[in-house]
Amino acid sequence: MQLLHNKVVFLTGGTEGIGYECAQAYHKAGARVAIISHKEDSLQQCRERFFNDNLLYILADVSCADDVQRAIEETIATFGGIDVIHNNAGVSNPSKTLCDTTDAEWQKVFDVNVKGIYHTTKYGIAALKESKGVILNTGSMVGEIGQELHAAYTATKGAVNALTKSMALDYAPLGIRVNAVAPAGVWTPMLRRWSSQQPNAEHIEHYLNEIHPLGYCPEGDVVADACVFLVSEQARFITGCILPVSGGAELGYRRYIEKGEEENKEVVPAGLNGKAV
């Protein structure tokens, strides 16, 4: 039997990158999936290439309480309940230090990455109580190890990690499990945009391969496979877990160095928060 046969998954940020890979993986595992996005064009494009009766597309902004409440209600009205809430929606901008981040930029990244979880849980908890369901948050390895020029983003991902553990304790008596996945680099549209913003953009693909000891920067399907496991009965005794899906990026010391002149000083990157010297 499929791992998620007849389960209902409420997935935010499900039209691109890791979210899109998760939507496909959940559907393949037998789930009915409500795919939430705040971008109408992205929602439409996804609908055109990936559509059937077990998929529901909803235009909603997770930072807006009314939008989330409406999306939860529409999902329940369509599918009869909710078994899984996967909080995947997120933004990574701005690519700045703390002092260079504006108040508006700071507020936006927290409203999406952290307050979005508050909204989905607040309006979805009754359905999860009934189903004894699962909450899954998409975190990031940088929430533990930091990252240069991403102060606001890393702060939100650190908050997601702590929030996941507190939620796991709060909702365990209700039979609700709460976990998070923590990728390092993953090739997504957001990461490609990030890559183009970096001062050493010409070296970024090599950099992203090298920060993973397994030797490559993966596509989102590796994260999606881990997500299917965590929301399934296979993980029924796992809660409060921040699962690295990182190819070992958090292991050991990895610093930028430069090879000698004879090798044209090729930059060898060193970690999610390394910098060229």
Write out the catalytic residue numbers: 153
Place of tokens 């890979």: 21
Quickly list DSSP for 117-170: HHHHHHHHHHHHHHHT-EEEEE--THHHH--TT-HHHHHHHHHHHHHHHHHHHH
Phi, psi of 251 (to 5 degrees): -95, 135
- C-alpha gyration radius of the chain: 19
Reference 108, options 156, 140, 162; nearest CA is 156
Please, which residues bridge with residue 55 across strands? 33
**HSE-up (13 A, CA, CB side) for residue 155:** 20
CB 46 within 8 A of CB 122: no
Structure tokens at 51: 């559509």
CB 46 within 8 A of CB 37: yes
Distance (Å, whole) CA 87 – CA 206:
30
Classified as helix, coil or strand, 17 is helix
